[in-house]
Amino acid sequence: MKKIVIIGGGISGLTAGIFAQKNGFESIILEKHHTMGGECTGWDRENYHIDGCIHWLVGTKEGTPIRRLWEYVGALDGVEIYHPESFLAFEYQDITVNFYRDLERLKSSWLEKSPNDRNSIEEFCSTIKKLQSFQMPVGKPMDMMNVFQKIQFMASMKDIGPIMQKYSKLSVQELASKFKHPALKGAINSFMPDGNFSAISILFPLGTFTGNQSSIPYGGSKAMALRMVDKYVSLGGKVETSCEVTDLTIKRRQVNKINCRNGKFFTGDYFITACDAKVLYERLLKGEYNDPKFQKRYNNPKDYPLASNIYVGIGYESTMDDIPRTLRFPVNSININQNDKPIEHLQMTHYTYEKKFAPKGHSVVTFAINQFEPELTVWEKLIKDKEQYKQEKTRIGEEVIKAMETRFPYMKGKLKLLDVASPQTYQRYCNAYRGAFMGFWPTLSGKSLAHTGKIKGLKNLMLSGQWLQPPGGLPVALITGKDTIMRLCKKEKIKFEELN
Ligand SMILES: Cc1cc2nc3c(=O)[nH]c(=O)nc-3n(C[C@H](O)[C@H](O)[C@H](O)COP(=O)(O)OP(=O)(O)OC[C@H]3O[C@@H](n4cnc5c(N)ncnc54)[C@H](O)[C@@H]3O)c2cc1C
């Protein structure tokens, strides 16, 4: 039996492990952190649970191929799904713009606000409608398809292709500028900071959301990752946590041993790095097997931006049933890290539908404040002075509480700061390059990356995970984990066990 050593116990590593076990390999997952799941996680603070990941999960619609894949790896076994009615509600003065799941409702509510925007609203909604049928391809990866399968795949994309072409050349701001009403314009603009971020990065999520393809599994992110761990272990897979891989021994174009910070070492026939691509190329391979596709992206952050987060968790001594699950509301310019562009809106998500996330009668809320450049560099400098770093995180948390009290005066005195994570938190716990929570973000000037995970010059080492396909996220971690084992099965002439 051939042995696979998997570096990284996030969703991709777990998926690869499950498929490895199902296809007759022996496998082990080595995870740096003391807990599994990678960025798909959550943590407890003062009797509250802060869900650190899933705002929506593509693949919750029953009967779809990606849902079957999630079920196969045990992520959604017997789990109820929560379907929020709105993707988000955006407040502008006394107007609320809702991105409803029901597209007809979205359209009529927007037309009611701005009849003069009829053409733009209809075009926006008809584009989203076309994207509702988009199914993430979960069959064979492109490089394993024969000509016939490639033609079939291209045919299945015939409605999506023209939309991709049109909107990947349009920025979020250009899309917003099609609307006359400042509330509608503001709602769309609020998704991304200025720059050349492509409009597809908001149209696809709205397509899957309104097409009922993406919702939220009850129990949250950490519970989902732990179900996958259970599945993996039940298939005979082994897990080592607090086991960071620090270097590889390579002989005759083969990795034959890996060493860990805790002094352990592991041998195997194949090695899968289901961790950050930068960790693989720079730390483990010491820059000796660099891939031009990645180098180009690392060297051009303007064309290939990365996003991280400040993630604030707050406890509230009451319920929030009357507030939309995700609300973006205006604030009085919060300054982060002396940035010259203070933030004008905060995005708040509450978890009232999760009875175990807060003590009875209380609620937990999270705020995700996206961080791009130059903020990422500022955090990298700030972490060098631990005291200042801590103070800045606390200050931001307090600013967020003040903003909540201004927006919801009745909450005054009932809010408690639970936790503030910064881009450096993701770097520290997950080895995430610059704290990134997804892959390279789609822009007008950048080309999308499609990578097989093969490492040129090495025969038995592969990369898997969110970095291989834009824009990353949980479905990409899942699919690439499966694809990696498909490729290994082909190499070993093993018939890959198809999903049933
Ligand atoms: C706040 C937040 C919200 C998000 N919301 C969503 C959402 O709503 N929907 C969605 O689809 N996605 C979301 N994401 C993104 C999603 O979490 C990631 O895309 C996905 O979890 C990546 O999985 P992965 O397995 O590719 O990588 P990771 O989760 O990064 O896993 C890699 C693992 O490798 C480990 N590792 C790294 N280096 C080593 C080493 N040297 N040795 C051993 N182990 C190592 C890390 O500790 C980590 O556990 C969100 C992420 C964040 C942070």
Instruction: Work out how many domains the chain is built from and give that number.
Output: 3
Q: Are residues 344 and 285 in the same domain?
A: no
- Would you state the pLDDT for residue 236? 98
The answer on pLDDT for 499 being more than 90 is no
Q: Is residue 223 part of a domain?
A: yes
Ligand 1 atom closest to the Cα of residue 473 is 19
Which CATH number covers residue 298? 3.50.50.60
Q: Is residue 93 part of a domain?
A: no
- Check if 435 has its Cβ closer than 6 Å to any atom of ligand 1: no
The C-alpha atoms of residue 67 and residue 217 are separated, in whole angstroms, by 12
- Check if 430 has its Cβ closer than 6 Å to any atom of ligand 1: yes
Ligand 1 centroid to Cα of residue 81, in Å, is: 22
- Check if 11 has its Cβ closer than 6 Å to any atom of ligand 1: yes
The answer on pLDDT for 173 being more than 90 is yes
- Give the whole-number percent of the chain exceeding pLDDT 90: 87
Domain termination residue (choose one: 167, 195, 211): 211
Q: Is residue 192 part of a domain?
A: yes
Q: Are residues 415 and 316 in the same domain?
A: yes
Q: Are residues 233 and 314 in the same domain?
A: no
- Would you state the pLDDT for residue 374? 87
Q: What is the 3-class SS of the chain, one letter each residue?
A: CCEEEEECCEHHHHHHHHHHHHCCCEEEEECCCCCCECCCCEEEECCEEEECCCCCEECCCCCCHHHHHHHHCCCCCCCCEECCCEEEEEEECCEEEEEECCHHHHHHHHHHHCHHHHHHHHHHHHHHHHHCCCCCCCCCCHHHCCHHHHHHHHHHCCCHHHHHHHHCCCEHHHHHCCCCCHHHHHHHHCCCCCCCEECHHHHHHHHHHHCCCEEEECCHHHHHHHHHHHHHHHCCCEEECCCCEEEEEEECCEEEEEEECCCCEECCCEEEECCCHHHHHHHHCCCCCCCHHHHHHHHCCCCCCCCEEEEEEEEECCCCCCCCCEEEEEEEEECCCCCCCCEEEEEEEECCCCCCCCCCCCEEEEEEEEECCCHHHHHHHHCCCHHHHHHHHHHHHHHHHHHHHHHCHHHCCCEEEEEEECHHHHHHHHCCHHHCCCCCCCECCCCCCCCCCECCCCCCEEECCHHHCCCCCHHHHHHHHHHHHHHHHHHCCCCCCCCC
Q: Is residue 87 part of a domain?
A: no
- Check if 8 has its Cβ closer than 6 Å to any atom of ligand 1: yes
Mean pLDDT of 148-155: 88
Confidence of residue 78 (pLDDT cuts 50, 70, 90): confident
Domain termination residue (choose one: 406, 435, 464): 435
The answer on pLDDT for 338 being more than 70 is no
Mean pLDDT of 433-456: 92
- Check if 84 has its Cβ closer than 6 Å to any atom of ligand 1: no
Confidence of residue 471 (pLDDT cuts 50, 70, 90): confident
Q: Are residues 420 and 318 in the same domain?
A: yes
The answer on pLDDT for 33 being more than 80 is yes
- Would you state the pLDDT for residue 294? 95
The answer on pLDDT for 77 being more than 90 is no
The answer on pLDDT for 340 being more than 70 is no
Ligand 1 atom closest to the Cα of residue 13 is 25
Q: Are residues 289 and 357 in the same domain?
A: no
Ligand 1 centroid to Cα of residue 10, in Å, is: 6
Ligand 1 centroid to Cα of residue 432, in Å, is: 8
Ligand 1 mutation pick, 58, 244, 275, max ligand atoms within 8 A of CB: 275
Ligand 1 centroid to Cα of residue 409, in Å, is: 36
The answer on pLDDT for 159 being more than 90 is no
Query: Residue whose CA is closest, atom 13 of ligand 1?
Result: 473
Mean per-residue pLDDT of the chain: 95
Q: Are residues 181 and 125 in the same domain?
A: yes
The answer on pLDDT for 333 being more than 80 is no
Q: Are residues 207 and 229 in the same domain?
A: no
pLDDT higher at 317 or 161: 317
For the ranges 65-69, 304-308, 330-334, 420-424, which has the lowest average pLDDT?
330-334
State pLDDT tens for residues 279-322. 999 999 999 999 999 999 999 999 999 999 999 999 999 999 99
pLDDT higher at 344 or 6: 6
- Would you state the pLDDT for residue 243? 98
State pLDDT tens for residues 185-239. 999 999 988 778 999 999 999 999 999 999 999 999 999 999 999 999 999 999 9
Q: Residue 68's domain spans which residues?
A: 3-40+55-79+217-302+441-491
pLDDT higher at 353 or 332: 353
Domain termination residue (choose one: 165, 189, 211): 211
Q: Are residues 333 and 274 in the same domain?
A: no
Tokens of 232: 């993996």
Ligand 1 centroid to Cα of residue 337, in Å, is: 25
Q: Is residue 240 part of a domain?
A: yes
Q: Are residues 189 and 224 in the same domain?
A: no
Q: Are residues 405 and 384 in the same domain?
A: yes
Q: Is residue 497 part of a domain?
A: no
Q: Is residue 182 part of a domain?
A: yes
State pLDDT tens for residues 114-148. 999 999 999 999 999 999 988 888 999 999 999 99
Alpha carbon separation from 289 to 247, 251, 273, 283 (Å, rounded): 14, 14, 14, 11
The C-alpha atoms of residue 130 and residue 120 are separated, in whole angstroms, by 16
Mean pLDDT of 63-91: 95
Q: Are residues 293 and 341 in the same domain?
A: no
Q: Is residue 49 part of a domain?
A: no
Query: Residue whose CA is closest, atom 2 of ligand 1?
Result: 53
Q: Are residues 207 and 237 in the same domain?
A: no
